[in-house]
Amino acid sequence: MCGIVGYVGQEQASPILLDGLRRLEYRGYDSAGVAVYDGQGGIRVVKAKGRLQVLSDLTQEGTALPGTIGLGHTRWATHGEPSDVNSHPHMSQRGKFAVVHNGIIENYMELREFLENQGVTFASQTDTEVVAQLLEYCYNGDLMATVQKVLHRIRGAYALGILCRDQPDVLVAVRKDSPLILGLGEGFNLLASDVTALIRYTRDVVYMDDNEIALLSTAGVQVFDAYLQPVDKEPQRVDWEISAAEKGGYEHFMFKEIMEQPKAFRDTVFPRIVNNRVVLEDLSLTPEEVRDIDHIVIIACGSSYHVGMVSKYILEKLLRKPVEVALASEFRYSDPFVTERTLCIVISQSGETIDTLAAMREAKRLGAKVLAIVNVVGSTIAREADHVLYTWAGPEIAVATTKAYSTQLAVMYLVGLYFADLMGRIDSNTYDAIVCELLRIPSKMESILENKEHIQYFASIYFNHDSIFFIGRNIDYAIGLEGSLKLKEISYIHSEAYAAGELKHGTISLVEDGTLVVALASYGQLFEKLMSNVVEVKSRGADVLGLTTQRLKESMEKTVDATMAVPDTHPMLLPSLDVIPMQLFAYYVALMRGCDIDKPRNLAKSVTVE
């Protein structure tokens, strides 16, 4: 999604803004721009469709745009096609205001019509421009009062950065339903939509809350509520290293993050196992509250939803309680059935996905308890949930998630074991066996990653297929969903995941000579059933690539064209191993097809619009 960065200080702003935008590139964008106060009574804007390099060239790495205060933006088009003119920052007609915006102004049509009737001429098709024009229309010499007035007129979700020509020593930042963070420095201050844009300059940050307005100057930062009353905000310290958000010699962030999974899994799980017991010190649910849960609803989007799908099988088996999995975008509009004995588990890497956030708020409104599993510390979902467990994956930059998926799953195992123990649903032998295997997962992940060339070889055979099905039963089906999503989002190959038994109820009609079917069969008790489905697709001309465990490999090889095998482990933990060949397969296929792996078309890292 769009990225915002703002700087006020004594250095030249443009190079800092461009650097910040570069660090936000991973979020996905189609155009970029900067606005800088020129020190002589004017705001200069340079913006361009395309990669950041275009903007960098146009401004000679920022040197052609002098000034010590400014705003930058990377745009992911919503209203109006990607173009130079629709890029941000947007200026008001007489050049008094420059505005950058993430989110959507829902009533922009009516505001635009109103302003046009007042003689305002619009330059772009965007919803954002109405904010700049409205600011100029309402301006009465008092910047904060003008901003407040405009906020009363606009509806929707927004993070705004505002620069006013008449008060060129301050930036105004506004937040509602779209993240915005303030970076505190010595003699300078910053604002950004994502901490990665700030981390090179400062580790001291303030997370803005909804309906807050901040005023940034060289001297300091003040935060106000919607009534312009000062708000005391506690600065937080960001402790991850800048290198964590850099490629470190790898060709792609996605590959780096795939390779980081053993470490991410260790960091997430090991500190929470003490004397072979799961200890969730950071979980604020009391044992009584856990025992009182009679129903669990897992809410998430995309890959996080797929973690929920796997977790349903695991939690139901461990807890013998009903577990539903809901797409966040559906949950909030479905008149959901939850009670105060329902635990809603919300899963989100970014902690900012708007659908997940809205669904969480709805669940809370209905009286459910909410436990969030989140990667980004201080994110909105983490702050608003009743209880939080962090996935210590470190910053995830590639659009296609890998290590966040693995750590979300890891936290789910821990939650499952911890709850099962408190609820008296697990015997000590089973508990001990799972914990023991949990500690072995990282080294088993490493052994799969050491043999990655094997999967690269399969990708080189199959990368030209146009249609790929993933089939599996139960947990294998849930892993297939993730395998299919990984592949389609970065390689653009049409792909679907099916519960294998469903194929013959319609979809098998699409299987023909040359269709590739990835068959997942990790579980002994379902192996034969799955192999019957494999025979069905093979007899219709499909090429079949199998994924199974070492133990079942030989049996699978008899029927399929090629086999990938992961080490054996406790069945509950197999998804953590199975997903890695799926990620590598998608990665290598996309590489061979020459795709832009870290920035897949039309996709954004953090989806902050509905």
Task: By CB under 6 A, name the binding residues for ligand F6R.
Answer: 301-304, 348-350, 353, 356, 400-401, 485, 489, 606-607
Indicate which residue of 2, 164, 301, 344 is catalytic.
2
Beta bridge partner(s), residue 176 = 158
138 tagged catalytic:
no
Those residues with Cβ within 8 angstroms of residue 87's Cβ, 6 or more apart along the chain or in another chain: 31, 32, 33, 47, 48, 49, 73, 75
Q: Is 35 or 485 the residue whose CB approaches ligand F6R more closely?
A: 485
- Residue nearer to ligand F6R on the CB measure, 71 or 604: 604
Task: Find the catalytic residue in 176, 444, 488, 605.
Answer: 605
- Taking CB atoms, the residue at the shortest distance from ligand F6R is 302
Q: Is 605 a catalytic residue?
A: yes
Rounded Cα–Cα distance for residues 496 and 537 (Å): 14
Rounded CA-CA distance 524/499 in Å is 17
CB-wise, 56 or 491, nearer to ligand F6R? 491
In whole angstroms, the minimum distance from the beta carbon of 306 to ligand F6R comes to 8
Nearest approach in angstroms of CB 102 to ligand F6R is 15
Contact of 81 with 94, CB cutoff 8 Å: no
Nearer to ligand F6R, 164 or 597 (CB): 597
Least separation in angstroms between CB 322 and ligand F6R: 24
In angstroms, give the least distance from the CB of 406 to ligand F6R: 12
Structure tokens at 436: 């023991």
For 72: left if phi > 0, alpha if psi spans -120 to 50, otherwise beta; the answer is: beta
Beta-strand pair 69-75/3-8: antiparallel
- Helix or strand run (H / E) with residue 555: helix 550-557
Do 282 and 421 touch, CB atoms closer than 8 A? no
Nearer to ligand F6R, 257 or 437 (CB): 257
- Residue with Cβ nearer ligand F6R (166 or 330): 330
By CB neighbour count within 10 A (0-12 exposed, 13-18 middle, 19+ buried), where does 562 fall?
Answer: middle
Distance CA 278, CA 270 (A): 9
Nearest approach, Cβ of residue 361 and ligand F6R (Å): 14
Burial of 610 (0-12, 13-18, 19+ CB in 10 A): middle
Query: Least distance (Å) from ligand F6R to the CB of residue 307?
Result: 8
Nearest 5 degrees, angle CA 204-CA 207-CA 211? 150
What are the residue numbers of the active site? 2, 605
